Structure 1
């Protein structure tokens, strides 16, 4: 029996819709039927794309990882130097939070708190965070070579510090309904601790 033709556009619409739904309602709070109705995909057709909601969760995490990597690469490519590129990347995130009035927060962090029982999702999340960290690490290492970032600390450790501080600031942002904790995080690290 021939396998049905799968539309890449439909798959991407489904991934974008699932990322949005998981961010706003959580993974467990998102019903598959409502999600599929929102993108006008019959439930039977869904299984041509993914064998389960868990597989969709993994694919959504991987999609988010790719989008994050593309945004970081674009921010770095358009910047005068690596530190400015890192700042531009996080400013793009801040602008997104402000557009949604601080609703949701970080999809990867939210899913990490919700999907601890799924080994495949935990593995995808670990890979996504590592990819994000490595992109920031590489930019900070470039900054170290240019004398823009302190070089007495490992670039990977600095990247971990930035991302972990950022994620804490995202929680505070949601509580305060303000981007100020995010901007304070960037000032303290990029303009303070990370400087040579």
Structure 2
């Protein structure tokens, strides 16, 4: 039992270190040896945890998606209404961007631009994006029921618009090293276009 636990702990440490590496250096710019050295795992042991770098990438995307879902649940649970919940969630992302000095951005978007050749990883990214979009859409649908969000456009379409606009604003944030594009994105959508 203790060996299984250590093995699960080591796998989790590899995934977390890999996520940080992928966010900073990208999939192709992050070497397996670099991650193994960081975690203190012998090189030959990698294949005890993952079949390939691609399966490692899949595990990292799943881990990131679960973290996003947890963060959404916390943000929405802490808010007084659906729109405030969205602002709490995106505000926390902005805090993370500032803490990282405007580097990194969004793991899903970063990898999406880099991994067009891998069907497994594209499917993983698509699933992670869909889970994120669906949770945002649920929040927007709740806002529609409360009369806070326009109801003439489907909540899923609004969620796609919000996330696609947000990701574009993240690129601009990284270029200019300012949160202004992110604030503008949220203000124009949540306080204007999305209102009834």
TM bracket, shorter-chain basis: over 0.9
Corresponding residue for 1:27? 27
The TM-score with structure 1 as length reference comes to: 0.96
Structure 2: tracts of 5 or more residues without a match: none
Give a deviation string over 1:143-178, Cα, whole Å, max 9, x none: 100111111110000000000000000000011011
Corresponding residue for 1:53? 53
**Aligned partners of 2:181, 2:150: CA distance in 1, in Å?**
23
Q: Secondary structure at the match of 2:113?
A: helix
**Aligned partners of 2:157, 2:91: CA distance in 1, in Å?**
21
1:126 pairs with 2:126:
yes
Give a deviation string over 1:85-117, Cα, whole Å, max 9, x none: 111100010000000010111111110111111
Corresponding residue for 2:65? 65
Count of equivalent residues: 193
More helix per residue: 2
Corresponding residue for 1:143? 143
The TM-score with structure 2 as length reference comes to: 0.96
Corresponding residue for 2:38? 38
What do you get for the CA RMSD once the two structures are aligned? 1.0
**Aligned partners of 2:8, 2:78: CA distance in 1, in Å?**
29
Structure 1: tracts of 5 or more residues without a match: none
Corresponding residue for 1:158? 158
Q: Secondary structure at the match of 1:151?
A: coil
**Aligned partners of 2:11, 2:88: CA distance in 1, in Å?**
29
Q: Report which stretch shifted further, 101-110 or 126-135.
A: 101-110
**Aligned partners of 1:82, 1:61: CA distance in 2, in Å?**
27
**Aligned partners of 1:39, 1:147: CA distance in 2, in Å?**
50
Corresponding residue for 1:80? 80
TM superposition outliers: structure 1 runs of 4+ over 3 Å: none
Give a deviation string over 1:126-156, Cα, whole Å, max 9, x none: 0000000000000000010011111111000
Corresponding residue for 1:189? 189
